[in-house]
Amino acid sequence: MITIDLKAPKGWDELTDNQLRYVFGLIAQGLTAPELKTYCLIRWSGMQVLHKYGRGWMCRFADDEFVVTAEQVNAAIGSLNWLDKMPAMPVRIEKIGKHRALPADFQEVPFETFIICDNLYQGYLSTKNEKLLEYMAAHLYESNDLKLTDAERLNMFYWFASVKAYLAHEFSHLFTPIITIDRDRNMFKPMVEEYNMLKDAVNAQIRALTKGDVTKEKEVLAIDTWRALTELDALAKEYDDFNKKYPNK
């Protein structure tokens, strides 16, 4: 009996740009979760499927040829179940053409960029208009000349969805995340109401940071996203603490 030790990535954070393009390309085709993981396992492990053989498939790995059954495939793809989950850390394709992406976690990114992308992201959730993902790309890769593939377009959605989940964990007083996953299509389906971010988010955030002084708006929009969210999270905590202490006020 031949024993094959297949090596595959253990999480989103291990994927290269080419691997991210591959998985996003498969998702864009509407594959089911088992189909997606089967294709990824074969591609990333280096195994080659030669042809159908009875109820299984004749495969090659290195110099060995062997038959793989459907049951063995179902057992093996369990190692890729992390593809069903939101990345613990923001992930994105680092480079599209000659254009490099902004920092994945939005540290040292202007707050204005975050606000613009958040508006576009919320718009995409509401309309499913893929043009909005292209507008996001122009800001996230700082270029108006991008020609996106389906995989690269979907990359924008996954990147900002993972950013929002990550920031919700870091700034828990400001964000309230509820993430759902359509496992049949392995596609995140966060709806607009699933992110409760101090309603009238854009104006409320800017107004809170400027304390109503419109002359400071330009300065506020230019500061680092994490610095802005740290201040807003502290304000949100103060507001929550006040309401708990004086519930009838």
Phi, psi of 186 (to 5 degrees): 50, 45
- Mean pLDDT of the chain, nearest integer: 81
Give pLDDT tens digits for 154-168.
999 999 999 988 998
Taking only the tens place, the pLDDT of each residue in 172-184 is: 877 764 444 444 4
- Confidence category of residue 25, pLDDT binned at 50, 70, 90: very high
pLDDT band of 50, cuts 50, 70, 90: confident
Kindly report the pTM of this predicted structure. Answer: 0.79
Q: How far apart are CA 211 and CA 142, in angstroms?
A: 30
Banded model confidence at residue 248, pLDDT cuts 50, 70, 90: low
Q: Are residues 211 and 147 in the same domain?
A: yes
Under a CB-based contact definition with an 8 Å cutoff, are residues 217 and 111 in contact? no
26: CB partners within 8 A, 6+ apart: 35, 36, 39, 40
What is the distance between the alpha carbons of residues 55 and 70, in angstroms, rounded to a whole number? 8
In a domain, 3, yes or no: no
Structural domains of the chain, count: 2
Residue 5 belongs to a domain: no
Q: 120 and 225: one domain?
A: yes
Angle CA 20–91–155, to nearest 5: 55
Mean pLDDT of 91-115: 95
Taking a C-beta distance cutoff of 8 angstroms, is the pair 179, 187 a contact?
Answer: no
Domain range for 29: 12-84
* Residue 2 lies inside a defined structural domain of this protein: no
Q: Which of 69-73, 126-130, 145-149 has the lowest mean pLDDT?
A: 69-73
**68 pLDDT above the threshold of 60:** yes
Partnered with residue 58 across adjacent β-strands are 51, 67
Considering the domain architecture, whether residues 34 and 135 belong to the same structural domain is answered as no
Q: Indicate the pLDDT class of residue 23, thresholds 50, 70 and 90.
A: very high
Cβ(26)–Cβ(186) below 8 Å: no
Distance of alpha carbon 88 from alpha carbon 168, whole angstroms: 11
Write down the H helix ranges in the chain: 17-28, 33-45, 70-76, 111-127, 131-140, 150-170, 201-210, 217-222, 225-245
| pLDDT of 110 higher than 80 | yes
Which residue among 84, 116, 138 closes a domain? 84
Q: Does 56 fall in a domain?
A: yes
